[in-house]
């Protein structure tokens, strides 16, 4: 006696072509695997915090606690920040300082009230992943949106022909047709919401902005500049996804830079910058061996975007004692 093991409620709504079944199975599981991988990386990648160079020393903290807020308070921060690659300021022109973390904020760094810590290149705190989206996992977040969108579009596309049959009474009168209707509506609605969110973040990447910077433009010494960190579409894209295109679709970290310093496109040049000989790009070095840019200009060479040796210290030994003060971008104006 031969026993049929088919579910009678789904008879007449399955794919009959074997090739079509194989292709759909491969594409479905590939998209599902990439979706889960990128989602996992977005959730469990810890947001990066400012390095110890941006933290105040014990003596500087003591001075800040003793001195009232005002010009003296800023003078202490000026001395602490003279050798740091910070070009953004507060609305009043002061150095960006976090009272909670007791550190000088690097450019594009913000304090997350949910995580209660400063996040490098913070974009937003995402409830979908219960994590901060910042420098360390922004690429993973973009891939999560991309693969979830493709996943939903694939489901809606493969279900479309049966959804049409549902309205034309081309399906057998079983419970399967209600599953088909629900699946199509769910996939279509998620596709619409994900496409708008993914499109918005693609625009942010093309402009080299974060969500916070899109709502409030960064403030530099010369004033507010909504495109202050934009270096052109190609370089903006590579700053997030890296130079090697083979890693772009994979949720592995390939973003350029360290999250603490970023090349900028400041337009207004100070007269002091003209004294820098052509071809030389002096750098500011800290005790840990990090190299920071001294010219935040569109055409200035940067290891984030071009040759990693372009930020090599080309200054002579006699100039090392005045590296920090020779940088006009690090000269902080007195508050009025």
Average pLDDT for 319-325: 37
* The pair of three-digit structure tokens given for residue 202, joined into one six-digit string: 């693609």
Told to judge if 126 belongs to the known catalytic residues of this protein, a careful annotator would answer yes
List the one residue out of 86, 317, 336, 122 whose CA is nearest residue 212. 122
Looking at residue 249, what DSSP letter applies?
Answer: T
Q: What are the structural domain ranges in the chain?
A: 18-48+134-247, 52-132
pLDDT value for 279 = 36
pLDDT value for 173 = 66
**pLDDT, tens only, 86-126:** 999 999 889 999 999 999 999 999 999 999 999 999 999 99
pLDDT value for 64 = 84
The catalytic residue among 98, 112, 115, 126 is 126
Q: Are 47 and 119 in contact (CB under 8 A)?
A: yes
Please provide the size of the chain in residues. 336
pLDDT value for 89 = 92
Express as a percent the part of the chain with pLDDT over 70: 72
Q: Are 151 and 35 in contact (CB under 8 A)?
A: yes
Looking at residue 133, what DSSP letter applies?
Answer: E
Element (H, E) at 147: helix 138-167
Band of residue 218 on the pLDDT scale cut at 50, 70, 90: very high
Express as a percent the part of the chain with pLDDT over 90: 53
pLDDT value for 18 = 87
Whole-model pTM: value is 0.76
Average pLDDT for 185-193: 95
- Identify the residue whose tokens are 């002579």: 316
pLDDT value for 315 = 38
List the one residue out of 227, 214, 222 whose CA is nearest residue 263. 227
pLDDT value for 163 = 81
Average pLDDT for 122-143: 96
User: What is the pLDDT of the chain when averaged over all its residues?
Assistant: 78
Q: 241-247: which pairs have CB atoms within 8 A and are 24 or more residues apart?
A: 241/139
């Amino acid at each position: 006696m031969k026993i049929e093991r088919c579910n009678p409620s789904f008879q007449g709504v399955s794919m009959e072509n074997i090739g079509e079944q194989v292709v759909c199975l491969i594409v479905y599981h590939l998209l599902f695997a990439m979706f889960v991988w990128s989602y996992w990386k977005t959730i469990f990648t810890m947001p990066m915090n400012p390095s110890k160079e941006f933290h105040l020393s014990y003596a500087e903290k003591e001075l800040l606690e003793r001195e009232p807020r005002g010009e003296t308070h800023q003078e202490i921060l000026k001395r602490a920040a003279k050798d740091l690659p910070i070009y953004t300021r507060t609305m009043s022109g002061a150095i960006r300082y976090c009272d909670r973390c007791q550190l000088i904020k690097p450019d594009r760094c913000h304090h997350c009230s949910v995580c209660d810590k400063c996040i490098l290149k913070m974009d937003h705190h995402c409830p979908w992943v219960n994590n901060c989206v910042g420098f360390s996992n922004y690429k993973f977040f973009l891939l999560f949106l991309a693969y979830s969108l493709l996943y939903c579009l694939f489901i809606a596309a493969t279900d479309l022909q049966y959804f049409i049959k549902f309205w034309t009474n081309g399906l057998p009168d079983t419970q399967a047709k209600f599953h088909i209707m629900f699946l199509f509506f769910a996939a279509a609605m998620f596709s619409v919401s994900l496409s708008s969110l993914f499109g918005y973040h693609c625009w942010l990447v093309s402009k080299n902005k974060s969500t916070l910077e899109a709502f409030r433009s960064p403030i530099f010494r010369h004033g507010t500049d909504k495109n202050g960190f934009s270096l052109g579409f190609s370089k903006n894209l590579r700053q997030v996804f890296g130079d090697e295109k083979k890693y772009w679709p994979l949720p592995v970290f390939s973003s350029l830079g360290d999250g603490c310093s970023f090349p900028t496109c400041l337009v207004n040049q100070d007269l002091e910058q003209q004294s820098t000989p052509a071809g030389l790009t002096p750098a500011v070095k800290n005790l840990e061996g990090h190299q920071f840019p001294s010219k935040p200009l569109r055409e200035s060479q940067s290891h984030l975007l071009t040759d990693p040796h372009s930020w090599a210290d080309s200054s002579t030994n006699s100039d090392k004692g005045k590296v920090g003060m020779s940088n006009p971008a690090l000269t902080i104006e007195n508050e009025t």
